[in-house]
């Protein structure tokens, strides 16, 4: 069985989403499967009408402009582009939490890159055999 | 040995606590044991004089009212009610960090649903054999 | 092979860094190896010109003064002193993410307690065999 990185993504902040995407890309590049479960703000951040517009930071909001400017200088892609590239490996699956999807009143078609909507119990079963489990 | 979900809960924000409670409920429903270790703001949020009053969000504070309204429309229980129900399975244990309990000057009786106060070293030993480990 | 606690540290907030340091100290005291990977704000918080000056909290910022006062009353060391002591066991290794190090334009010498700068893929490989994996 392939080794797996399992990430539960509660956050909708682009700093933490960038960390998540970099880990997903690193894992896919090392032949490690990646499974992602979006909870509350995670589902919100993957909405098609939010994903590229969202500039929310979880910390140090006063450094936001400096950070974005520096990332452009370094030609670093945005978190969703890092994740899109990681998904081209075929090793990355993304699920949205059914409760959170009800809260935002969205289905799979309203969300970018989401493969399925599942419940938390099913997610726990999926995560049990992962080598690495993280809550973002 | 039963499979186990281990969550270290630093947060006192109700969005992240809701994600935690939904995972605890999902795990208990799948016959997976749950052990929770409360650190700083986690201990604060479980104080009997705080638990039902606390409305702190970790992110997107400007969406707080919309979120609470929507959760009421959907008849979603609050995080502590989800956790209380999960605890009825007998599969959920909650520990408070001894250092954090000193900071808030509380003992077990001041905290809701807490089974014991333990040190971080003991917690690390408990977590070592968990299938899923998360920091909330 | 020794058991291992692997922590990916995105945060630069001293409340979450304190939780991380207490877990690192608890693990080292129980003969569990600790590996830490600093991402964005984590690298920032370990900068030599930031580490002792930074007072950023992730939550409940209005309780910051009360918290610091209480920690002084209890003679609790700051998070970096807890981590320094844990490192004296020889069981704690700290790595900085190469991308984040580019963003802050720092090398190893600009960072406190950092053993090496590595990529996310290498970090995923290191974390795969850890008993406990956390994202802080």
For residue B36, CA distances in Å to A78, B8, B47 come to: 34, 6, 15
Q: What is the pLDDT of residue B79?
A: 96
Assign C26 to helix, strand or coil.
Answer: helix
- CATH code assigned at C116: 3.40.1260.10
CA dist A4 and A6 (Å) reads: 6
What pLDDT band is residue A133 in, cutting at 50, 70 and 90? very high
Domain that holds residue A129: 2-135
Please name the residue that has the structure tokens 């490989």: C125
- Count CB neighbours of A108 within 10 A: 12
pTM to 2 decimal places: 0.97
Q: Is the ipTM of this complex over 0.90?
A: yes
pLDDT in tens, C1-12: 579 999 999 999
Interface mutation target, options C23, C61, C68, chain B, most CBs of B under 10 Å: C23
pLDDT in tens, C66-88: 998 999 999 999 999 999 999 99
A5, A24 in Cβ contact below 8 A?
yes
- Write down the mean pLDDT value for chain C: 96
> A40 and B19 in contact by Cβ < 8 A?
yes
pLDDT in tens, B27-74: 999 999 999 999 999 999 999 999 999 999 999 999 989 998 999 999
Contacts of B71 in chain A (CB under 8 A): 103
Residues A26-48, mean pLDDT to the nearest whole number = 98
Q: How many CA atoms, within 13 angstroms, populate the side-chain half-sphere of residue C78?
A: 10
Residues C32-55, mean pLDDT to the nearest whole number = 97
B132 touches chain A (CB under 8 A): yes
Contacts of C25 in chain B (CB under 8 A): 120-121
Percent over 70 (pLDDT), chain C: 99
Q: How far is C10 from chain A (nearest CA, A)?
A: 7
> B25 and A102 in contact by Cβ < 8 A?
no
A93: left (phi over 0), alpha (psi -120 to 50) or beta: beta
Interface mutation target, options A123, A128, A129, chain B, most CBs of B under 10 Å: A128
What domain count does chain C have? 1
Geometric angle at alpha carbon B6, from C63 and B109, rounded to 5°? 55
Q: What is the pLDDT of residue C135?
A: 98
Q: How far is C123 from chain A (nearest CA, A)?
A: 8
Closest CA to A80 of A26, A135, A136, A25: A25
> C59 and B41 in contact by Cβ < 8 A?
yes
Interface mutation target, options C59, C65, C70, C133, chain B, most CBs of B under 10 Å: C59
């Amino acid at each position: 069985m392939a080794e797996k990185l399992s990430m539960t993504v509660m956050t909708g902040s682009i700093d933490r989403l960038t960390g998540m995407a970099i880990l997903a890309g690193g894992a896919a590049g090392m032949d490690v499967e990646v499974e992602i479960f979006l909870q509350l703000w995670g589902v919100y951040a993957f909405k098609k009408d939010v994903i590229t517009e969202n500039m929310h930071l979880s910390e140090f909001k006063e450094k936001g402009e400096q950070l974005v400017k520096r990332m452009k200088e370094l030609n670093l892609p945005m978190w969703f582009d890092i994740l899109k590239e990681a998904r081209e490996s075929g090793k990355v699956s993304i699920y949205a939490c059914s409760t959170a999807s009800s809260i935002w009143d969205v289905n799979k078609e309203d969300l970018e890159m989401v493969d399925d909507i599942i419940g938390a119990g099913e997610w726990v079963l999926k995560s049990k055999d992962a080598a690495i489990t993280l809550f973002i």
